[in-house]
Chains A and B, each alone.
Chain A
Amino acid sequence: MPHSLLSIYPKNTDRFDEMLAEGGALRSSWQTFFDHLVAATPEQMRHRLDYVRRRIQENGVTYNVYADPKGTDRPWELDPLPLILSASEWQEISGAVTQRARLLNAVLGDLYGEQTLLKDGTLPSALVYGHNSFLWPCQGVKPPGDTWLHLYAADLARSPDGRWWVIRDRTQSPSGAGYALENRIIVSRVFPEQFRDMGVQHLASFFRSLRDSLTHWAPHEGKSERDGGTDAPLIVLLTPGPYNETYFEHSYLARYLGFPLVEGQDLTVRGECVYLKTLTGLCRVHAILRRLDDDYCDPLELRGDSALGVPGLLQAVRAGKVLVANALGSGLLESAALPGFLPGACEKLLGETLAMPSVGTWWCGEPTALEFAISNLERLVIKGAFPSQRMDPVFGNQLNGAQRKEMIDRMRARPLAYVAQELVNFSQAPVWAKSDDSHLLPRGVAVRVFVAATPQGYLVMPGGLTRVSAAANTRMISMQRGGSSKDTWVLTDEEVNCFTLLKNAVGIADLVRSGSNLSSRIVENLFWFGRYTERCEDVARLLRVGLSRLVDTGTETMPALMSTYDLCCSLKLLPVDEDGDGGNEHQSNDDKTIYQLDLESQMLAAISDEEWGDGLAGNIRRLLWVGAQVREHFSLDNWHALNRMQHHLQVYCEIRREIGDALAFLDQVLLSSSTLAGFAMDNMTRDDGWRFLIIGRRIERLIFLSSSISHFLRLESTRAAGSIEWLLELTDSIITYRSRYMTQPELLPALDLIVFNADNPHAVYFQLLDLKQYLGRLSAEQGDAEDEQLDLTINRLQAFDLSRFEGLDFSQCRNCNPCFELAGLLDEVAHAAAHLSDRLAMHYFAHIGEVGRQTLTA
């Protein structure tokens, strides 16, 4: 087994190997883990890989790639084998990155303050004044505790001699800590015994420190008139939105840290304070953990073209009314040329020697550096010194003669715009081969290490995000370019700190933390989440009713098939016929085979047609989109249910679409829908957010039921046998009906059950009563007037005399008065429900969303 495990793993290489020492012996920190791998059976490993894949899919771990033809969400790649680092090795890394965090914080303090580094020439002024990430209006702004960097990350790589180097600094708003956490949660469950027995350090206390430190520094004057009288400062996580490549992480971290996830439009500055717009009004925000680039944060003083920021934010920061982490302006330190000047800055600002070197970096603005870069071009990569150049890195060893000359000419013409950097040979670590189940393969690795500011100094996360190259010999590692990732196990000889911030993933209501922090945007999305869940369920049920009659069409079910088809047409569920005639005209029964084929193709198209927006696929996509907007408000299990639905949709759309597959898919959709409904009823806190979700569901169901029954009463084809039966099936009331009446379905009792019944959750009347109750509660909490229009509708329904249907032979009636009048009344109900939806939107959501915002200069 060991032979096969390492049979294609090179024993000798020109790189450092994380697992094997020279000569091929195992490093001691890997021994236990490797022994376990050797002992594991192929089946075990297959199960583990499968578990990793499933968890990633179900947790919805994605990394959005803007230009990915497969769509924006690409599953996160995770190799199950961790990168293992010994305690002593970690001590060295930890000390070095802590020093670097202190240094970079001091550099920011200097550059946005006294600028002594520029005055004495330690740092060229071109790299600051000429850099578009130097935010001029931020000069002189001093953050609380002189802390500019709250969360810093360093990308580390190991050279062949075993030394660690810093290959990049992340100071803007480092991503990856959340992915590291998610990787840890998955991998620690794949290898639970090894994780426990090897003394792997836990990550949770790092995040607690980050949270506590933000709380500590958040400017919070205690209770004030506008902040609702809470004692704890309100900290929010500011995201650019769901289209950002690391949005999954934003929502994951927000949930993990217990911060509301907000977008720029959720926040507003009044006077010099920042507020969160919520259903109950404005709520003072004391700290913002931002994942939005700093120059986008304030369209008034920073980038005027930013639609993502908060106008006036910088003034609030300047006035000391809000903490922004990392401080606005910290992106400057990601400058490509800076590393070359850090040793000098370290001596000057800290009086220390820089402990861990940066990868060799030369700014060509220095004449000697320019000459060095030109004569060593083959082993260097050339980068732009300023982001405004939008220059892709140029690898010297890939240039032909003419290209090389052109590059040198460019460098000589404007040397200060170029930076030369040494090419890095990453160390390698084993990954599990995906194609077969018994081999390890070597891949280049780099580790992103995270550091958080605390009042006691900088603290390193004992672990990190290990990124894995896509091929064995690459010199680039990028999640955007198809790389993978690993968990990072940092061993300790001391006792492991087992503190956890994780909430119980199962069942506990996770939807809304507290009503007062609910942003109006979130509430609106929850409302639409309710509506789309219900809409998917309704459409799926109707199509199932139709398709199942198509499957076993005999002469008996044929009329029922026709009437369901007619209802689908009346509700405009089917793709519009290109020829113009909506297919409402029935052919004679003679050519029913052709007719059936036509029905089948239309109904199948209504399920999966991409072009047909009102079809099931379109509605599921909308549901998933709205769900993604409020992702951090759902429990993991709820989220799993959504992801399963997406998965089924994808799988179904890829296979050959036959009627059997379609029915199976519809069953899945209905199952997922009822799961979501169950979560909503059973697992969510009863606050206003939840109330809006349920109101959304009720409104949607009310519209669907009343329009369906109204059309049913008007359609001619529903007079045929078997129609009332499917109507009961459509309203999920067939079981109740049979238990009550034990006869063939008849119109009067059916209408009583699905229109006038107060106990049947699929009855029109039930929806109205439920809505009245929730709206009443809502207006009581918000201090608004009660909605009178709903009462009018309820009264009209109550006043309808059902006895008029007594003795009526439905199979014979044609537009008789009772049917006609009830249909008219139900149309009114549907109309009132749609109107109610509009009024809610106007009243509770309208102050956000579509209102235009412009930057004007004069």
Chain B
Amino acid sequence: MTLQAERYRVIHETSYDYDSPVSLSRQQLHLTPRDCPWQSSIAHRITIDPVPAFTQSRQDPFANPVKLFAIEAPHNRLVVRADSMVEVRPRPFAGRLEESLPWEQVRKALAYGAAPVLLDANRYQFESPYVRVKHEFSDFARSCFTPNRPLFDAVRALMQYIYEEFDFDPKATTVSTPVLKILEERKGVCQDFAHLMLACLRSLGLAARYVSGYLLTKPPPGRPRMVGADASHAWISVYCPSAEGEFWMDFDPTNNLLPDTQHITLAWGRDFGDVSPLRGVILGGEAQEPEVAVTVTPCSED
């Protein structure tokens, strides 16, 4: 386990080639890594080709940096390139798993009527467009959530359960595959496993959020290359109140591990829809799948 801070350079390039010219394009980008206690942005730049007529940067409702832009002249190609340098520091989670509160107590603390009101967690506690709350999900997770089990211990068991039961299969699903279908078919990609895990936790009355980010493209010598390393990655973060205040712990069900300095956080929200890296509306052109290329390299290699 790494115990020192790591610096990474992340290049995330998305390009669209349109068959016929697009006359008007408005896009919303979640491509700027957010700062958090274990991560700082050192340098960051987004370049857009063609040059937009309008750009604006602000924070979204989950405090992620977001950039809007509009191109108001006909164009056949759009390239958005985000170039970031971030520092990721080790997270102090050792020993936390068994120390955390029993999961029923966490659920109780989050329920209506409990004091104090935990609004920051409540945001991630209910249904959202990609995450349904249904008994099918709580039934699926029930074997991990035995009475009085410490929350994070139970969540880690659920993560492992999903990792073992589900196949990683990029052809099996699309962005719009419902999470209930993922549960039935038992296959998907990182985004699907994250949504499924969120559905399980929220159906149990817990609070958990979707994290979008990156993994190191080439692993350090002697370590296996992780799944999802050549594109954006997704995992989840689970809420647990503790003596020191609120505490969120990340879990990566695709790789069955607890994210540390090899996971670079981009943004978080209720689900993918809140933080999709690029979301836009075009007038004209044809629906196209974009070319996406992500490269993450440790700065020491530069």
Contacts and interface: CB of A to CB of B under 8 A. Distances in A.
Interface stretch (A269-277, A570-578, A750-758): A269-277
Interface in A136-175: 136-137, 139-140
A528 B288 CA distance: 34
A118 interface: yes
A398 to B, nearest CB: 25
B281 A858 contact: no
Contact of B117 (A121, A312, A365, A854): A121
A851 B60 CA distance: 31
Interface residues of A, number: 44
B280 A300 contact: yes
Q: Among the interface residues A124, A136, A858, which one has the most CB atoms of the partner chain B within 10 A?
A: A858
Contacts of A315: 56, 68
A3 B10 CA distance: 88
A124 B279 CA distance: 31
A386 interface: yes
A129 B112 contact: no
A662 B50 CA distance: 62
Contacts of B87: none
Given A129-B126, A315-B68, A854 B287 contact: yes
A414 to B, nearest CB: 7
Interface in B32-70: 53-54, 56, 60-61, 68, 70
A852 interface: yes
Nearest to B132: A388
Given A270-B53, A853-B281, A416 B119 contact: no
Interface stretch (B149-157, B233-241, B270-278): B270-278
Minimum-distance CB pairs A-B, first 6? A130-B126, A311-B281, A125-B122, A858-B278, A124-B112, A857-B276
A519 to B, nearest CB: 16
Contacts of B112: 121, 124-126, 365-366, 416
A300 B125 CA distance: 25
B286 A852 contact: yes
A855 B135 contact: no
Interface string A97-133: 0000000000000000001001111001110011010
A851 B68 CA distance: 23
Nearest to A268: B24
Interface of A: 115, 118-121, 124-126, 129-130, 132, 136-137, 139-140, 268-272, 299-301, 304, 311-312, 315, 365-367, 386, 388, 413-414, 416, 847, 851-858
B60 A120 contact: no
Contact of B54 (A125, A271, A854, A857): A271
A272 B117 contact: no
A703 B291 CA distance: 50
A386 B278 CA distance: 29
24 contacts: A115-B119, A121-B112, A121-B113, A124-B112, A125-B117, A125-B125, A126-B122, A126-B125, A129-B122, A129-B126, A130-B126, A132-B129, A137-B60, A304-B279, A311-B24, A312-B281, A366-B112, A414-B135, A847-B23, A852-B284, A854-B281, A855-B280, A855-B281, A858-B278
Nearest to B287: A854
A301 B30 CA distance: 12
A852 B285 contact: yes
Given A300-B281, A416-B112, A857-B278, 10 more contacts: A125-B119, A136-B270, A136-B274, A137-B61, A853-B281, A853-B282, A854-B285, A855-B280, A856-B282, A858-B278
Contact of A118 (B119, B280, B286): B119
A129 B123 contact: yes
Nearest to B53: A271
A137 B278 CA distance: 16
Q: Among the interface residues A120, A301, A386, which one has the most CB atoms of the partner chain B within 10 A?
A: A301
B160 interface: no
B299 interface: no
A414 B132 CA distance: 13
B278 A414 contact: no
Contacts of A414: 133, 135
Nearest to B134: A414
Interface of B: 14, 16, 23-24, 26-28, 53-54, 56, 60-61, 68, 70, 72, 112-113, 115, 117, 119, 122-123, 125-127, 129, 133, 135, 175, 270, 273-274, 276-288, 290, 292
A858 B119 CA distance: 30
Nearest to A368: B113
A21 B40 CA distance: 75
A139 B61 contact: yes
Nearest to A365: B112
Contacts of B23: 847, 851
Contacts of B68: 315
A120 B72 CA distance: 46
Contacts of A126: 112, 122, 125-126
A763 B117 CA distance: 81
Contact of A857 (B56, B122, B279, B288): B279
A304 B276 CA distance: 12
A852 B16 CA distance: 16
A388 B178 CA distance: 14
Contacts of B285: 852, 854
B14 A858 contact: yes
B54 A301 contact: no
B202 to A, nearest CB: 9
Contacts of B292: 858
A129 B280 contact: no
B281 A269 contact: no
Contacts of A118: 117, 119, 122
B63 to A, nearest CB: 11
A132 B56 CA distance: 27
Contacts of A858: 14, 276-279, 290, 292
A136 B122 CA distance: 14
Contacts of B53: 270-271
Contacts of B175: 857
Contact of B279 (A386, A852, A856): A856
Contacts of A847: 23
Nearest to A124: B112
Contacts of B16: 856
B276 A120 contact: no
Contact of B26 (A132, A312, A416, A857): A312
A140 B281 contact: no
A366 B285 CA distance: 51
Contacts of A120: 117
Contacts of B72: 270
Nearest to B114: A121
Contacts of B282: 853-854, 856
A119 B117 contact: yes
Nearest to B62: A136
B145 to A, nearest CB: 16
A851 B283 contact: yes
Contacts of B290: 856, 858
Given A269-B26, A315-B56, A366 B113 contact: yes
Contacts of A365: 112
Contact of B127 (A125, A140, A388, A855): A388
B240 to A, nearest CB: 18
Contacts of B287: 852, 854, 856
A145 to B, nearest CB: 23
A299 B281 contact: yes
Contact of B61 (A136, A413, A852): A136
Contacts of B278: 856-858
B53 to A, nearest CB: 7
A505 B56 CA distance: 48
Nearest to B175: A857
A660 to B, nearest CB: 54
A140 B61 CA distance: 8
B244 to A, nearest CB: 21
B283 A129 contact: no
A386 B113 contact: no
B111 to A, nearest CB: 8
Given A119-B117, A858-B277, A270 B61 contact: no
